[in-house]
Amino acid sequence: MKTKRQYFLNALLLTAVALLMRTVSVSFNVYVSNRVGAEAMGLLSLVGSVYGFATTLATSGIHLATVRTVAERLERSGGAENRRCLLACLSYALFFGTLSSILLFGLSAPIGRLLLHDVRTVRALRLLSFTLLPIALTSVLNGYFTAVRRAWKNAIAQVAEQAIKISLTGYLLVAVAPKTVEGCMLAILLGGAVSESVSLVLNLVLYVADKRHFRHVGTAKYSGPIRVAAVAMPVAISAYARSGLLAIEHILIPRGLIAFGAGSSAALASYGSLHSMALPVVLYPAAILSSFSALLIPEVTEQQAAGNEVEIRYIAGRVYQMTFLFSIGVAGAMLCLSGELGQVLYDSSEVAAFIRALAPLIPVMYLDTATDAMLKGMGEQVYSMNVNILDAFVSVVAVWLLVPCFGIWGYLITIYITEILNAALSIARLLRISRYRPRIFTLLVRPLAAVIGASCILTLLHRLLPFAVHSGGLSLTLHILLLAALYVLLLALTGTFGKSDATWLLRSLFPTKEQIAQAQTAKK
């Protein structure tokens, strides 16, 4: 029970910080998009496709390996192996981080000119190459803090990194005021590069301070990089394949748009509107779930190590319940308020149409994220990555076939195909190995009825009440809050989220002394 309480308190902290950071990030993304334009955002996304593969090489599965190895050894040795385990993880990250930096810097010119067909990307790739080693090392330290349940340290680093990135980028865009698309892109990337370096330094300081928690334990032997590589490399190899396929996919999208009939600038603008403007809005609420999902990995790992199958099924049931309730509510809000979101945030009907089109897919995307975290916690990371490789391969084929025929909407169809395929395969695997049997009516039908009812009531109020007008951000905020309140009320009235669920949540967060004593007795 104490472990559960610590899990939920860490999750609440990370959720609050992640939501704050996502709010700031999306707001800043709106500011940047409106300042530099859709073409620059499309060019950034194009560079990001190559950078994503380089980052995958730099990290090479080390975050998951750190979380799993530290969590396992903490359970078995009480922290005696922490130091040597972390040194092994850092050595692994140092090698791959350095390798990826050298490769990206050296190959930036041929990649930009021959692969991306845009010389404006060359200097951007060279600048990004210097961020790969800090990212790899920071990934290890973040994994360590997650494993030892010190979520607040990750939160501090995230806040500091985001603050520096926004401040420096904003200064460069305003004070330097680059006149070209390339100049705007380099200003944005420079702010991110500096923030990554500062984040690494801060994480190192926090780790040095964290060692005092294990002063009372000795130092035990650890198998070193062998164990780390055994966990990380299967994930890394699969990640290389998936990331490479994703890079090909995103390189093919602008080319397919040009083949559809759009000009080069128009293709980048459409790509930027969907990928860099609409998608961040759709994924913004996922910050609430992502923190819980990240902390599920060590939690499920410990339960599996203890052979507690009943507890794993219980966790799966609660995770699915909360994910469905939340994601269906978000999907309803995005669908109902897509016009306002596009208008208020970007003054763009095209972005509004993209948000509306993606809204029905939100429950699938969010559920896949939670399922993937549980599978990784149960040691199924290889299966998850194989599914992701298949997902990426199907994406490449679908983009190659659909985008030249249907334009940007062909890419939207591709997103639907691959997200549904990925989620279906992952959920089937989790249900088989955990033996959890979901109740579809309770999980899906009731929340769906509640959100439809809430949306209908909001639409009616919007037409009848004088204050419910499209007047900007204040009106949008009011509509979101009102829709959320109606949705929660209907969930309660239909018994979808009742007293027992609320009691479970409160007892998990604030267990009584009797519950803690019973849990400790049972553990002994």
Q: Work out the angle between the directed axes of helices 264-272 and 225-260 (0-180°, nearest 10).
A: 130
CA angle 54, 59, 62 (to 5 degrees): 160
d(CA 108, CA 511): 55
What pLDDT is recorded for position 515?
43
What pLDDT is recorded for position 460?
85
Token pair belonging to 491: 């969930």
Residue 136: strand, helix, or coil: helix
d(CA 352, CA 357): 9
Contact by Cβ (8 Å): 129, 123: no
Residues 304-330, buried b or exposed e (16+ Cβ, 10 A)?
beeeeeebbeebbbebbbbbbbbbbbb
Residues 6+ apart with CB under 8 A from 512: none
Token pair belonging to 166: 């926004």
d(CA 514, CA 494): 33
What pLDDT is recorded for position 524?
40
Q: What is the pTM of this model?
A: 0.73
**243 DSSP assignment:** H
Residues 6+ apart with CB under 8 A from 332: 359, 451, 452, 454, 455, 483, 487
Residue with tokens 């360590």: 144
Give Rg (Cα) of the chain: 23
**Per-residue pLDDT of the chain in tens (524 residues, 90 and over written 9):** 445 555 555 556 656 666 677 777 777 777 777 777 777 778 888 888 899 899 999 998 888 888 878 777 665 655 556 677 788 888 889 999 999 999 999 999 999 888 888 888 899 899 999 999 999 999 888 888 877 767 667 678 777 888 888 888 888 887 776 777 778 888 888 888 888 888 888 888 888 877 665 554 444 455 566 778 777 887 788 788 888 888 888 888 888 888 887 766 777 778 888 887 888 889 888 877 766 666 666 667 667 766 677 777 777 777 888 888 889 999 999 999 888 888 888 888 888 999 999 999 999 999 998 888 888 777 787 788 788 889 989 999 999 999 998 988 999 999 999 999 999 999 999 888 888 887 777 788 889 999 999 999 988 887 776 554 455 778 888 888 999 999 989 988 887 777 777 676 565 545 444 544 444 443 34
What pLDDT is recorded for position 419?
93
What pLDDT is recorded for position 518?
41
Give residue 202's identity as a one-letter amino acid code: L
Token pair belonging to 86: 């972390």
Measure CA 348 to chain center. Answer: 25
Token pair belonging to 236: 């890394």
Residues 6+ apart with CB under 8 A from 254: 42, 46, 264, 267, 268, 271
- With CA atoms as reference, report the closest residue to 92 among 50, 63, 130, 53: 63
**436 DSSP assignment:** -
What pLDDT is recorded for position 216?
43
